[in-house]
Chains A and B, each alone.
Chain A
Amino acid sequence: MQAEKSKEELLEELEDLRRQVSEMKKSATEANAIFESLKESEERFRGLFENASDGIWAQDLKGNFTWANKITETTTGYTLKEFLGMNIAEIITPESLQEARKIKQRLMNNELLPVYELDVKTKDGRVVPLELNSHLIMKNGEPFGVEAILRDISERKRIEQAHHDSEVKYRALMDYSSDAIVLAEFEGDLIEVNRKAESLLGYLQEDLLNMRFIDLHPQEEAERIEGGLAELYEKGSTYLNDILVLTKSGRTFPAESTATIVEYGGKKLIQAVIHDITKRKRNQEIITRQAQEIMEISTPVVQIWDNVLAAPVIGTLDSQRAEQFTERLLNKIVETNSPIALVDITGVPAIDTRTAQHLIDTISAVQLLGGQAILTGVRPAIAQTLVHLGINLNGVVTRPSLAAGLQVAFQKLGLQIKNNNEL
């Protein structure tokens, strides 16, 4: 019976109860501590989750979004409230949807997936490329949904595109350049060539990439190339004009070569632009030859009688022409042994101090030689100029026309012209 319990028993029971209460108290404090720590950790993860710079979303197996973090709002343009009522099919492009289905299938097969890309249509209609990393959520051992970490990669795409564009531009510049462009290591090994380099040098690209800079020139230019390279290393750029370039067939052609040191990724390279100047040189030669011809044509020296030369001057007499003219006249005098020279200036448009001085020098030289020069074709305008300029023609026989000059020559030679009709 209860009431009949002894005092000792009751005391024992009480003691037992007390111990139980104290144990319960203790475990309640512990539970409270665990709860507190769970709450703290939940808050910490929530903070991490909400403030992550990457978007995180989860969806059920049908593709309905079940939760998402704050950054998803910025990425998609939808508020979280709108977003959580939507299906993945509504926010990604049709092409990406197909991709997403494949991904889901692979996830269901328990495959570990690499990072992949999807295009998302934002609320305001933009298409934003995302990089995603997804995994399957399990509940009670069954697939329950898909969780994804996503990142907006439009900026990276834009940089990639810009990089690609600039690469395309660079290639276009290289390949459609009318000059050969080669890029070489600092030590001279070719590492890049453009199309024009191939056609100009006659080599294929792969041949060229096994060659050295110096191989592009014949042996006789080795010294100039070395000098050019020395200047290049010292000043950072060099220009070699009219340097011979050797083609695969062994033919050489003249070129001008501009080389500069460029830095790509911290590495110093030599970039050289080779411009074929064959045509330019040929044109220059033609011009020089024609100039020479014009000079010779304009100062002919002809023997018009025994002991008499005629040298008509046509056009302006500059220093170079005057020198040539004098030389030709003197040589002809010695060659033909003709002591009298008629220098005719009918064809000289205008005379100035310099031209007059050239003529006087020529006449003096003729006199030194033992000949005599007669200046003919002194027209009224020229006579006026000569007097106005105060040019002293003392000691020079002058006549207004070549015919009058010839008469003087005949007189000096003691010749007479007879008109047979007068007989």
Chain B
Amino acid sequence: MIAKNTSVIKIYNTLLVTVPADPDDNTITELQEHVLESMEKCVAKGVILDISMVETLDSFFARTITETIQMVAVMGGDTVIAGMRPSVAITAIQLGLNLGNVRTALNVELALDMVADFRPGGQK
């Protein structure tokens, strides 16, 4: 079952996942499944989680994202979180939410730069 709320776009060997604004717990769980299924289908090398639309952050969201990143890693992928809003970052720090040693980027463009070998021919 592919979630309707989330979009996962494959660009060459990278998956671009856009997290919808104000995601509820179900959406996040669906998102995780969606990402992992796509990993299997497309054999992607990298995943970019675009959270620029997310305005609030809770512990469930943070934990699921961290888990997803670990799962993607187990499946041989490299994840970058892109476009976190300042208010979300401040909340995360205040709540003491830990996203671990996750790679982050200011926006999707910079994130694409960080995901290795995403372009055909391997040049950066």
Interface residues of A (CB under 8 A from B): 323, 326-327, 330-331, 333-334, 337-339, 361, 364-371
Contacts and interface: CB of A to CB of B under 8 A. Distances in A.
A369 B86 contact: yes
B93 A369 contact: no
Contact of A331 (B81, B86, B106): B86
B27 interface: no
Interface of A is mostly: helix
B17 interface: no
Contacts of A333: 86, 106
A370 B90 contact: no
Interface string B76-94: 0000111111101110110
12 contacts: A326-B90, A333-B86, A338-B106, A339-B105, A361-B93, A365-B93, A368-B89, A368-B93, A368-B99, A370-B80, A370-B84, A371-B104
Contacts of B106: 333-334, 337-339, 369-371
A383 to B, nearest CB: 24
B107 interface: yes
Given A323-B90, A334-B106, 16 more contacts: A327-B86, A333-B86, A337-B106, A339-B106, A364-B93, A365-B86, A365-B92, A366-B89, A368-B81, A368-B84, A368-B88, A368-B104, A369-B104, A370-B84, A370-B106, A370-B111
B90 A327 contact: yes
A368 B89 CA distance: 6
Interface of B: 80-86, 88-90, 92-93, 99, 104-107, 110-111
A364 to B, nearest CB: 6
Most buried by B among A326, A365, A370: A370
A370 B113 CA distance: 12
A202 B25 CA distance: 64
A365 B87 CA distance: 10
B81 A334 contact: no
Contacts of B90: 323, 326-327, 330, 365
A330 B89 contact: yes
B82 A368 contact: no
Nearest to B99: A368
A370 B83 contact: yes
For the complex of A and B, 8 pairs with smallest distance between CB atoms: A330-B86, A370-B104, A370-B105, A370-B106, A365-B89, A368-B89, A361-B93, A365-B93
A361 B89 CA distance: 10
Contacts of A369: 84, 86, 89, 104, 106
A256 to B, nearest CB: 37
Given A370-B110, A371-B106, A334 B86 contact: yes
Contacts of A338: 106
A370 B107 contact: yes
B82 to A, nearest CB: 6
B32 to A, nearest CB: 20
Most buried by B among A338, A361, A368: A368
Given A339-B110, A361-B93, A367 B86 contact: no
Contacts of A334: 85-86, 106
Nearest to A334: B86
Contacts of A330: 86, 89-90
B78 to A, nearest CB: 15
Nearest to A328: B86
Contacts of A367: 104
Contacts of A337: 106-107
Most buried by A among B81, B86, B105: B86
Contacts of B85: 334
